[in-house]
Amino acid sequence: MVTSLKTVEKLMTLPSDQDASGRTLGAEELANLGEVIASGTLSTTKGTFGKRLEEAFAGRIGVAHAYALTSGSAAIHVAIGAVNPNPGDEIITTSVTDMGALSPIVYQGAVPVFAEVDPQTLNVTASTIEEKISDRTKAIIVTHLFGNPCEMNEIMELARSHGIPVIEDAAQSFLASVECDFVGAIGDIGCFSFQQGKHMTTGEGGIVTSNDEELARRMFLHINKAWGYGDQNPDHYFLALNYRMSELQAAVAMAQLEKLDECVETRIENANRLSELVGDIDGIETPRVADNARHVYWRYCLNIDDTKIRDGGVGMAAVLKEKNIFTAPRYIQKPSFMCQVFQEKNTFGDSGFPFNLARPEAIDYRAEAYPMTVKGLNDILVLPWNEMFTDEHVEYIAKHVRRAAKMLRIS
Ligand SMILES: Cc1ncc(COP(=O)(O)O)c(C=O)c1O
């Protein structure tokens, strides 16, 4: 019998944020849940966990007000509701984001106007936003994609000069910062998601933040069917849904919040290590972070040059998959406005509302009009990232990124 001298490498299984291997859920969450169950009060209108969570979260981010709710999508919806657009008003947003950040714009009767992104970070910039400002712009949504903050100094200066409120979508960027300020506390409103794979999770859930009394009040009402709790003559003041978080979720969120700093620090440490290990590979760019910013690595992204590496991110992903490293080349695959809902205006019956009220230039939803978005999505390779990664996991990823780049090198 001939035995091969080659040792067979053992494939590693990376911790996943979809199950216990990559989540920090444990005794603390269970203890809080036990308290809620024992109390018999599962609604945040009467319980204490929801209120404690809101206070603690506001304190950690550095804002006056925070309100917990059912999802990141709900967070964006109440933010838009607070800004209160008229039908056909325009909301500038990014061409690369989750649908949960876009459908609420349309539900409130406003028109999403997509700004281009920087092809390396896939974030909007002051200049790409400026190109889209019109006299119908009611708000600007900036998404700190993958945990990497947008250039907030420049964006806030631009927005202030036009008197337009800024909503920060911080769903992927807990404790990311620009200078000394956490994202979600820089603009007029911050929106966070506690969905399964986020830095802190309750399965589904979210929270909104603001320093502005009026916007905060409207968001609170929007979460609560616009019922004026505590008012002398309460009523349902305007059109709004029930977006309240339950005490069960708030109990889990309280425990998760205590673990957030450590989660973020571990993610950053590991990401810096990976950047050191793969930063010299020709044709691969590691994440670009501004000098005044802190990237919190919801995901770790590489930009792959397909003139140097065969089939770019798609090629790399196929090779990495053989080693149990499951990546997402092209992230959301196509610019957000290429989804059917926007292309076919599938909204309210066959009315085409609110797009039927839009300026034609505002709804130029063609990929050709967004070359930087197309290039950015083409080049990006999104690696899974997790606070449970050890040095061994990071070294394993680095080794196989290097190997894949070598195998696919265009000579
Ligand atoms: C950037 C961004 N915005 C909004 C959302 C919507 O959040 P949720 O899934 O909690 O509704 C997500 C997704 O999870 C997201 O990644």
Is pLDDT of 332 > 70?
A: yes
pLDDT of residue 80: 98
pLDDT 10s digits, 275-328: 999 999 999 999 999 999 999 999 999 999 999 999 999 999 999 999 999 999
Torsion of CA 139, 145, 148, 153, to 10 degrees: -10
**What is 21-258's CATH number?**
3.40.640.10
The arithmetic mean of pLDDT across residues 160-170, rounded, is 98
How far is the centre of ligand 1, averaged over its atoms, from the C-alpha of 391 (Å)? 29
Ligand 1 contact via 151 beta carbon (within 6 Å): no
Q: Where are the beta strands (DSSP E) in 116-254?
A: 137-143, 166-169, 177-178, 181-182, 189-193, 206-210
Question: How much is the mean pLDDT over the chain?
Answer: 97
Å from CA of 4 to ligand 1 middle: 49
Question: Model confidence over 197-245: pLDDT tens digits?
Answer: 999 999 999 999 999 999 999 999 999 999 999 999 999 999 999 999 9
Q: Which of 8-22, 96-110, 131-145, 386-400 has the lowest mean pLDDT?
A: 8-22
74-99 in b/e form (b: 16+ CB < 10 A) is bbbbbbbbbbebeebbbbbbbbbbbe
* Residues contacting 220, CB < 8 A, separation 6+: 65, 67
Does the beta carbon of 201 lie inside 6 Å of ligand 1? no
pLDDT class for 340, splitting at 50, 70, 90? very high
Q: What is the pLDDT of residue 4?
A: 54
Gap from CA of 6 to ligand 1 centroid (Å): 46
Domain limits of the chain?
A: 21-258, 260-332+373-407
In this predicted structure, what is the pLDDT of residue 8? 72
Ligand 1: nearest atom to the Cα of 198: 14
Is the confidence at residue 106, as pLDDT, over 60? yes
Question: In angstroms, rounded to a whole number, what is the distance separating the alpha carbons of residues 101 and 172?
Answer: 12
pLDDT at position 319 is 98
* Tens-digit pLDDT profile for residues 122-140: 999 999 999 999 999 999 9
Residue of 98, 168, 204 with the most ligand 1 atoms within 8 Å of its CB, for mutation: 98
Diameter of the chain measured on Cα atoms: 89
The two domains 21-258 and 260-332+373-407 share their CATH topology (first three levels equal): no
For residue 315, CA distances in Å to 100, 322, 407 come to: 29, 12, 10
Asked if 100 and 147 touch (Cβ cutoff 8 Å), the reply is: no
Q: Residue 7: pLDDT band by 50, 70, 90 thresholds?
A: low
- CATH for the 260-332+373-407 domain, from 3.30.360.10, 3.40.50.300, 3.90.1150.10, 3.30.1330.100: 3.90.1150.10
pLDDT for the residue 9: 76
CA distance linking residue 233 with residue 235, whole number of Å: 7
